[in-house]
A and B are shown apart, each in its own frame.
Chain A
Amino acid sequence: MPDMTTPETVATSVAAWGLLPAVALVVAVALALGLVFAALDRVVVAGGDANAMAGPSRTVVRWLVKQRRTTLAPDRLLWRVATGAVPVLAVLSMAVVPIAGRTLWSTSADLVWFNAMEALLWAAVWLVGWGPNAVHALVGGYRFLAQGLAYELPLMFALITAGLAAGSLRTTDVVAAQADLWFVVTMPVAFVVFLASAAAFAFWGPFAAPAGADIAGGVVSELSGVERLLVEAGRAIFLGASAAMGATLFLGGGSGPWLPDALWHLLKTVLLMGLMVVAGRRVPVLRPDRYVEAAWVVLVPVTLLQALVVAVLVLSGMYA
């Protein structure tokens, strides 16, 4: 068991660098990770064509200048709030991911914070589908609601398994607990479920059914211009943030020889993003009615078993 008597050994980045620089850094890193993820995604989809890397930046400019359209009798207030909330929540989930060894804010419930941001994102995406008063968007929103509900519990168990081994819900403590052994070794199931759930919450790759072509773009179908940009940026940022969180929780965060911590963490994050993109783009879009059952009937018990194994290992002194 790690030392329990010193709850706060690492100062937050706010305490170390001041409020504004710390916030600016987190936002900048989140945006950069989102852009990198989108670029990687584009390259893989284009079959390895490196020229496609500039695609996301071009799309950003296009959406910025594109004329916005609207629908008949939309719920304008909720729609605006939701499209704005998606990227904000994605950036907020970065607040508990250590950057250069420091998180923006460190509490005794970091992992729960990450999970709460995900839940809020879930509600916001449903609102994005509800807002425009359009049938395809609403169908997409409902698909996402069912998908998120099915993946919320496995994700919770995956997060809590890392916290269980570290004996703390603080991300910096989880990193410290992996000094000897990365958590991915003893909790591979939690690792895979975490990444899959991240993709499911960003309705990306095999979990893109809420924005599927069979419902004409679904939840994002009525978005245009800046609003489309906000939601798509939120998805990419969330995927990037999840890769950074995955590297923190399961791949030892910034630990590694020779190179500085921040660089190691970045390397691992980019590696994870590459893994997610390559693996995710090889799987076809899954039908919601099929994988929701699989999530409830298979993933929940499997992640519980994983937590049980880790709990036994904790008792046997494996992570001491």
Chain B
Amino acid sequence: MTLQIVLTVAAALIGVGLFGTLSQQSIVMVMMGLELVVNGVLLAGGAAWYFLTPSAPDAQMLIVVALVVMAVEMVMGFAATIAIYRARQVDMVDMAKDLRG
């Protein structure tokens, strides 16, 4: 078990997540992709702690922050989805193109 193997898995998760985030039309599926990206960050943080700096707690803190980021992303993502759906029945990102800017 080496650092490189675990990090490669993390990179694959980030790549797959990025593909999902960019390609999905449904807002909820876009959030699934983002979650997958942060999942890769979790794994990379764990690998950094175990293989590089086990004596320092910083990599563990990174994982805690990543978990919190996921929770915040979920809450705000769903709140925004509900708000825009209430306002104009939008549930796909392509239907809200006028918000770009």
Asked if chains A and B are in direct contact (CB within 8 A), the reply is no
Residues of chain A having any CB pair with chain B under 8 Å: none
